[in-house]
Amino acid sequence: MSTPTAATEPVVDRLATEPGDGLATTTGAGVAAGSRAVLWLALPLAITAALCFLAPLLPLPDPNEQNLRNTLQPPVFAGGDWSHPLGTDKLGRDMLARLLHGGQLTFIIGVAGALVAVVPGALIGLAAGFARGKVDAVVSQLISAQLALPFVLIALPIIIARGQSIWVLLLVLGLTGWAPVARVVRAEAMSVRERQFILGLRAVGASGARIMFRHVLPNLAAVLVVLGTLQVGTAILIESALSFLGMGVVEPDMSWGSILASGQDILKQGWWVSTIPGIAITAVVLLVNLLGDALLVRYDPRKRQY
């Protein structure tokens, strides 16, 4: 199909429609401003992640410790007390402890989910954009076919055959994520390939594989960093959706998506059980998306007008 097929991220679209030449040179002042934005967005993300991974060292109750006499205690800001700052869930487990422990898996799946999409996507896109011809035709067809399979439709047959597990989740993230990445990388690789220094390398007799991996790939580093960042946000959203539908993370494992799911049937009695992890997911994905935008601006000043 000739129309630019659906991408889940607008920034990815912008990358796809304007094939640039990878790492653009930036002026000093612009880099400084861009770097500052990147820092201010990366810092709260890093702190949140650190809090989640250091949770076992913090003076918090065990996230799986049930106390059936103390169920559905409201959080402090809704009339609860400080023994459970974010309240308790329907089994009397401390929400703050669950939120921080659950964040570990959310971050791990976010990053791993981005890697399983970006690495194969980049390699396939690179090969197609660099080789052109038949390889490119086949890959392009595969990309548009893959983009016609939304993640839920990919997840359904796999989960019905395998049941749900974190590995299945990563498989789904890889299978859904590679195509948009490959599409962008393919376009970028095509434009890098036409540049003068590639011609020079060919003239001195460098092999195709060497040019591809040692010279074209490094020129795509900036694009890959931006794509990878945005993919973390997408992976976290997909994880939460699948966990919510009971097809992702299931007890006793916990992630923000599965904690959120556990509160859906007690909205009336304990609204905070679903509300709090949802806010956490939204905040982290928002920061990740803003970081992706900032990185794009940092690496490519032509996009700064947006």
Task: Report the interface residues with other proteins, using CB under 8 A.
Answer: 1-6, 8-10, 14, 141-142, 144-146, 148-154, 156-163, 175, 233, 237, 240-241, 244-247, 257, 260, 264, 267-268, 271, 274-275, 278, 281-282, 285-286, 288-290, 305-306
Q: Which is nearer to other proteins, 211 or 257 (CB)?
A: 257
Distance between CA atoms of residues 208 and 221, nearest Å: 19
CB of 166 to other proteins, least distance (A): 15
Q: What are phi and psi of 220, to 5 degrees?
A: -100, 5
Q: Which is nearer to other proteins, 107 or 244 (CB)?
A: 244
Tell me which amino acid residue 297 is: V
| Paired strand residues for 216 | none
| Contact indicator for 118, 181 with CB cutoff of 8 Å | yes
CB of 168 to other proteins, least distance (A): 8
| Contact indicator for 187, 16 with CB cutoff of 8 Å | yes
Quote the distance between the C-alpha of residue 66 and its chain's center.
32
CB of 196 to other proteins, least distance (A): 30
Neighbours of 88 (CB within 10 A): 27
CB of 34 to other proteins, least distance (A): 18
Residue from 84, 66, 87 nearest 277 by CA: 87
Q: Which is nearer to other proteins, 134 or 268 (CB)?
A: 268
Q: Which is nearer to other proteins, 15 or 247 (CB)?
A: 247
Distance between CA atoms of residues 107 and 53, nearest Å: 9
CB of 140 to other proteins, least distance (A): 10
Q: Which is nearer to other proteins, 59 or 157 (CB)?
A: 157
